[in-house]
Amino acid sequence: MSESGRRSTEVDAYIASQPPETRRALEELRSCIWEAAPEAAELMNYNIPAFALVDGGKRDQQIMIAGYAQHVGLYPNPDVIDAFRDRLEDYKFAKGSIQFPLSKPIPKALVVEMVKLRLSQLKK
Could you give the domains of the chain? 3-122 (3.90.1150.200)
Phi/psi for 100 (5° steps) reads -105, 115
The pTM (predicted TM-score) of the whole model is 0.93
Parallel, antiparallel, or unpaired for β 92-93 and 71-75? Answer: unpaired
The predicted-structure confidence for 2-41, as pLDDT tens digits, reads as follows 455 588 999 999 999 999 999 999 999 999 999 999 999 9
The pLDDT of 106-122, averaged and rounded, is: 97
The three-class DSSP label of residue 109 is helix
The C-alpha atoms of residue 29 and residue 63 are separated, in whole angstroms, by: 11
The C-alpha atoms of residue 82 and residue 121 are separated, in whole angstroms, by: 13
The predicted-structure confidence for 64-94, as pLDDT tens digits, reads as follows 999 999 999 999 999 999 999 999 999 999 9
Would you give the end-to-end CA distance of the chain in angstroms? Answer: 22
